[in-house]
Amino acid sequence: MSAESSPVLIDKDASRFLTQCGYMYRDEHSISKTLLCSICSEPWVQPVVANGCGHIFCERCIHTWIRHIPSCPIDRSSLPSNQLIPPPRILQELVDELDVICSLGCGWIGRRDCWKTHLESDCPEAKRDEPVIPSALMTEKIESVEPEDEEESFKERWKKLAREMHVLKKEAKDYISTIERFKDKVSKLQFELRQANELIIVKPPSPSPVSSPSALPLHQATCDFCRSHIQGTRHKCLKCPDLDSCSECFSDISNLHPIHDFVSVHSPEDINIVCLPEWSIVHPNVRCNHCEQQVIGPRFKCVICIDYDLCHHCMALPRPVHPIGHPMTRFVNPQG
């Protein structure tokens, strides 16, 4: 059997076993760093407080330290052993309530301060006639030859920390080298990006259309034939009180609105509509035969038909409402 998998006898004394193995915490990453001893980097075991500076350490760790260096490991202030005092009860409770796992592999999980009782009384693995545990399951704290003296144990841990420090320095150097390589790549990409931006030709935005000085004027009138707002030249009937035509419809005015004459208005400012008095004259007892309304304004009477009259609105309709062959007489004033 190889040395790596050879069984290691477990000390019957739980306190000595804890000294050898330490605790196996359920979730080491969740343990607050404020509960860790700065010497062993583990949660405090039997913590003590340096009376002068207030720093807290494991009792065993700090006694071993000041035996060789009588100063605080953190701030290097003088620290004789008689300056170590017990911590407040709450600090001991914080580390005692941490969850640990039985190192013998029985599956037990519980508070750290209950593990010693479990190991001595309840652990089925510890009750075997020849309790053994493969060294591969033990923590790295167990060496093939256990130093009997605390000073030797301290020296071994010191050597281990020195090796770990060497590895960490090498890894840090590798990380720095990797970062430098990436910095060079980033600088190169930034330079290429600047060059690409210089080559990009940005097309200026199209200028917004500006109204041409010769734009067609918009009249405040609607064409009575196509119902569109009149833009450009407005053609106004000289006979009808309010009839207008756009230029497009005026090209066919002989069919749309025959007989009447029109005047062309090129600018809205050129027109001044005057309501002629004749448009308000009432013809008593005369009704338009088409709209059946009383005739107000010019009266148009058929010279062929008996008693046929049209008002000026119906006379101006686009489609004739009376035969074109029938002449119409225009009366401004009422007839007797």
Q: Fold for 218-270, please state it.
A: Wheat Germ Agglutinin (Isolectin 2); domain 1 (3.30.60)
pLDDT value at position 130? 45
275-291 residue pLDDT tens: 667 778 889 889 999 99
**Annotated domain spans of the chain:** 7-168, 218-270, 277-331
**And the tokens for 78?**
């003088």
Average pLDDT, the chain: 77
pLDDT value at position 197? 73
- Range 277-331 has CATH code 3.30.60: yes
- pLDDT above 90 coverage of the chain, percent: 8
Distances (CA, A) of 46 to 43, 49, 63, 67, 168: 10, 10, 12, 18, 29
Burial label for 331, CB within 10 Å (0-12, 13-18, 19+), is middle
Q: Region 49-78: what's the mean pLDDT?
A: 88
> Which has more pLDDT, 162 or 144?
162
Provide the sign of the torsion angle of the four alpha carbons 172, 174, 179, 183, taken in this order.
positive
pLDDT value at position 128? 63
Does the model's pTM come out above 0.85? no
Confidence tier at 134 by pLDDT (50, 70, 90) = very low
Confidence tier at 9 by pLDDT (50, 70, 90) = very low
pLDDT value at position 302? 93
Among the listed residues 142, 120, 146, the one whose alpha carbon sits nearest the alpha carbon of residue 133: 142
291-308 residue pLDDT tens: 999 998 888 999 889 889
pLDDT value at position 17? 57
Contact 301, 308 (CB under 8 A): yes
> Which has more pLDDT, 272 or 157?
157
- Range 7-168 has CATH code 3.30.40.10: yes
Fold agreement (7-168, 218-270): no
182-233 residue pLDDT tens: 887 888 888 888 877 776 655 555 565 554 545 788 887 888 888 888 888 9
pLDDT value at position 7? 39
Among the listed residues 331, 12, 37, 336, the one whose alpha carbon sits nearest the alpha carbon of residue 161: 37
Confidence tier at 309 by pLDDT (50, 70, 90) = very high
pLDDT value at position 271? 67
Q: Region 5-13: what's the mean pLDDT?
A: 44
Q: Region 49-64: what's the mean pLDDT?
A: 89
Neighbour tally for 44: CB within 10 Å: 21
Provide the sign of the torsion angle of the four alpha carbons 1, 119, 63, 40, taken in this order.
positive
Q: What's the start-to-end Cα distance of the chain, in Å?
A: 147
